[in-house]
Structure 1
C-alpha cells in the first residue's frame, strides 16, 4: 500500500468509528430520551436536530466518508493485493450501502415526513410513537453496525498488510 493510501485508510478507521459513535448514541439513549419527553417535545427536538445537522461538522464527515469509501474500495481493488484488498473493498461497500444508502433511502425520507407535519397534531404524536421511532431507530442501528464494521475491517486490513 502506498503511504497516502495507508494514511487515508488510517484516518478512515477513526472517522468510521466517530460516525458510528454518534449513531450509537442515538440508538442507545438520545431517541429513547426524545420519546420520553411529554407531548410533542421530542418531536420538536428531532425536527430542530434534523435542520441543524445539515450545517454541522458531522455532515461534512458523513458525506466525505462516502467519497473516501468509494476511493478506498476502488483503490483496494486496483492496487492492493490479498486479504487486505478484500477487507478494504468490503469496508468501503459496507459504508456506502449500510450507512450512506440506508440514510438516503431510509432515515432521510422519515425525517422529511416528520419535518412536514405539525408537532402538536394528535396524529403526529401517534406517527412518532407507532411508526417513526421504531423504523428510524432500527435503520439507525443498521448504520451504527455498518460504521463499526467498516472501521474494524479497515483496521484489520492495516494490521495484516
Structure 2
C-alpha cells in the first residue's frame, strides 16, 4: 500500500531529478553556448534567462522549492520507515542536496546573479562589462558544475532507495 513516505520519495526523486537536469543543462548547453558571445551579449543573455527565474516563474518555483520540501518530508518520515543502509543513504541524499545544491545557490549563485542583473550593459564601458564577465563566468560555471554533480548524485541515491522499497 502506498503511504506518505512512498509519495514523498517519488516526489523527491522526480523534483530533485528535474533540478539536476536544469543544472546539468546549464553546465553543458546554456553556459557553453553563451560563452561564444561577446561580453555585452553574454551578460544580456544570462540576464534574460536569469530574469525568468528571478521573476518567480511558478513552475520553476514549484520544482525548485518543492524538491526541498519533498526531500525533507521524505527524510523525516523515513526516520520511522527505513533502517540501516536505506536510511543512511536517504539522509546522505538530503544532506548532500541541502549542502551541495541549495546552500551554494543561496549563498554563492544568487549573489553573483544579482550582481550581474544590476549591470546596464547598454550604458557601461567596455572595460566594466569585461570585468563583470570575468568576475562572474568562471566562478559561476565552476560552482554550477559541482551543484549539477551533487544534484545528479542525489537523484541517483534517491532512485537507489526507491528501488530497494
Establish whether TM, by shorter chain, passes 0.5: yes
CA distance in 2, matches of 1:37, 1:98: 29
How many residues are paired up? 160
CA distance in 1, matches of 2:7, 2:71: 14
User: What residue number does 2:103 align with?
Assistant: 101
After TM superposition, the structure 1 = structure 2 runs for residues 13-32 of structure 1, keeping only pairs within 5 Å, are 13-32=13-32
User: What residue number does 2:114 align with?
Assistant: 112
Runs of at least 5 residues in structure 2 that lack an aligned partner in the other structure:
none
Among 148, 151, 155, the residue aligned to 2:152:
148
Runs of at least 5 residues in structure 1 that lack an aligned partner in the other structure:
none
Is the 1:17–1:151 contact (alpha carbons within 8 Å) kept by the matching residues of 2? yes
Which one has a larger percent helix, Structure 1 or Structure 2?
A: 1
Is the 2:11–2:67 contact (alpha carbons within 8 Å) kept by the matching residues of 1? no
Backbone CA RMSD of aligned residues = 1.8
Residues 34-54 of structure 1 show CA distances to partners (whole Å, capped at 9, x for unaligned) of 121134112112112222113
CA distance in 2, matches of 1:56, 1:39: 30
Could you state the TM-score of these two structures normalised by the residue count of structure 2?
A: 0.87
**Over 3 Å off, 4+ runs:** none
